[in-house]
């Protein structure tokens, strides 16, 4: 493991140089990787592992026609590499449990009986284990329980892999029954195409993940964009101007500079007027949202966010309500303006 200084805090991380694909292939050569769920993370991790020469099968309910058809379209063959969730669990030795959190709770009574001595149960989210008092997901004592959590959507995990790069992932071992849990974890992490791997625990992974999704990564980002767009529109700015100043410049210019060399690099490549204003208002925004983040984090670690997620996602009308909420966002003036703005981008 490499020791890296992250601003005065030294962390041990695992890179592809220290843990090459050839080592991962050797560790996994006698394993059958059964990926349960072909929804968000499943396709990316499955296809990346397959392309990396690792033995992969898929477990997917045929009743969920959309995802079953998606698996067929991607080349998985029924009876050969595509099975029911229960059959795949029976055939696998490393069971990658990648169905939704609510789905994991619902399917656990059917999956658990098919886990065998020495198997590894793999997660990409600590949710079901950390909140087992709510989910009921309590693995048997005779298996390894491990985690590799890519820090990106399944779409990004696959796209970065195809570009020859990788999404960074965290990893953790919850239970080491076989004595090989760590090497299995790291081999899977390299196998799914991670850029590098950094250690965590199941608890820290789920606490940071739930906070990040509700905060900067999605919830806060959407909310701040809506607030600024609505303010500009209220003061007579056109939809095009309001959207460009709120979203388009961020996604097409500024965030790319942050990605390249950090926030200070982005600031240094903007006008002196923009720099001064941003440096001053940065502190005001931070102070304004700190109480919101404190409230959010407490809601996460208390299990309240878990309760909300499981109740909502287990409801029979969950999909209809979700579609309605997403449609409300999509049909708002702001995102209708976004559709038009994206359509006006010059084509290559």
Does residue 27 lie within any of the structural domains?
yes
Q: What is the pLDDT along the chain (348 residues), one digit of tens a residue?
A: 778 888 888 888 899 988 999 999 999 999 999 999 999 899 999 999 999 999 999 999 999 999 999 999 999 999 999 999 999 999 999 999 999 999 999 999 999 999 999 999 999 999 999 999 999 999 999 999 999 999 988 999 999 999 988 889 999 999 999 999 999 999 999 999 998 999 999 999 999 999 999 999 999 999 999 999 999 999 999 999 999 999 999 999 999 999 999 999 999 999 999 999 999 999 999 999 999 999 999 999 999 999 999 999 888 999 899 999 999 999 999 999 999 999 998 876
Same domain, 26 and 163: yes
Same domain, 69 and 181: yes
> What does the block give as tokens for 39?
């929804």
The whole-number pLDDT of residue 11 equals 85
The whole-number pLDDT of residue 7 equals 80
d(CA 274, CA 276): 6
Same domain, 234 and 170: no
Same domain, 193 and 235: no
pTM over 0.75: yes
Does residue 305 lie within any of the structural domains?
yes
How many residues comprise the chain? 348
Of 167, 201, 235, the residue at which a domain comes to its end is 201
Same domain, 34 and 164: yes
> What is the side-by-side strand order in the sheet with 94-97?
2-6, 9-15, 196-199, 169-175, 144-150, 120-123, 94-97, 33-36, 56-59, 82-83
The whole-number pLDDT of residue 195 equals 86
Does residue 348 lie within any of the structural domains?
no
> Is 125 one of the catalytic residues?
yes
Same domain, 6 and 142: yes
Same domain, 226 and 194: no
Does residue 86 lie within any of the structural domains?
yes
The enclosing domain of 102 has a CATH number of 3.40.50.720
Same domain, 33 and 76: yes
Given the residues 125, 207, 235, 347, the one annotated as active site: 125
d(CA 127, CA 306): 8
Q: Can you give the residue range of the structural domain that contains 294?
A: 215-343
The whole-number pLDDT of residue 198 equals 94
CA 304 to chain centre: 20
Does residue 210 lie within any of the structural domains?
no
Q: What is the dihedral of CA 304, 308, 310, 311, to 10 degrees?
A: 130
Counted domains in the chain: 2
Same domain, 242 and 176: no
Does residue 209 lie within any of the structural domains?
no
Same domain, 176 and 223: no
Does residue 207 lie within any of the structural domains?
no
Same domain, 85 and 109: yes
């Amino acid at each position: 493991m490499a020791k890296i200084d992250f601003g005065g805090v030294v962390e041990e991380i695992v890179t592809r140089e220290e843990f090459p694909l050839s080592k991962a292939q050797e560790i996994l050569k006698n394993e059958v990787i059964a990926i349960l769920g072909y929804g968000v993370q499943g396709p990316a991790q499955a296809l990346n592992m397959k392309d990396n020469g690792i033995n992969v099968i898929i477990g997917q309910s045929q009743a969920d026609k959309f995802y079953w058809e998606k698996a067929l379209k991607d080349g998985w063959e029924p009876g050969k590499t595509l099975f029911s969730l229960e059959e795949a669990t029976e055939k696998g030795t490393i069971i990658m449990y990648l169905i939704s959190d609510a789905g994991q709770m619902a399917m656990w009574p059917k999956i658990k009986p098919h886990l065998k001595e020495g198997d590894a149960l793999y997660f990409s989210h600590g949710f079901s284990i950390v909140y087992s008092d709510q989910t009921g997901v309590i693995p048997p004592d005779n298996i390894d329980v491990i985690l590799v959590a890519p820090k990106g959507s399944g779409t990004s995990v696959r796209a970065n892999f195809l570009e020859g790069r990788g999404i960074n992932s965290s990893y953790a071992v919850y239970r080491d029954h076989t004595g090989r849990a760590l090497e299995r974890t790291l081999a899977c992490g390299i196998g799914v195409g991670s850029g590098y791997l950094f250690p965590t625990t199941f608890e820290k992974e789920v606490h940071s993940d739930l906070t990040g999704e509700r905060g900067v990564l999605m919830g806060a980002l959407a909310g701040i964009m809506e607030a600024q767009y609505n303010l500009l529109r209220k003061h007579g700015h056109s939809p095009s101007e309001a959207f460009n100043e709120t979203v388009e410049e961020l996604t097409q210019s500024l965030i790319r500079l942050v990605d390249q060399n950090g926030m200070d690099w982005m600031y240094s490549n903007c006008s002196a007027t923009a720099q001064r204003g941003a440096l001053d208002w940065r502190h005001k925004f931070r102070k304004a949202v700190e109480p919101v983040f404190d409230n959010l984090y407490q809601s996460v670690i208390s299990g309240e966010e878990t309760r909300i997620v499981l109740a909502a996602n287990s409801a029979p009308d969950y999909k209809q309500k979700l579609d309605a909420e997403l449609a409300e966002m999509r049909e708002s003036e702001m995102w209708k303006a976004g559709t038009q703005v994206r359509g006006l981008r010059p084509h290559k």
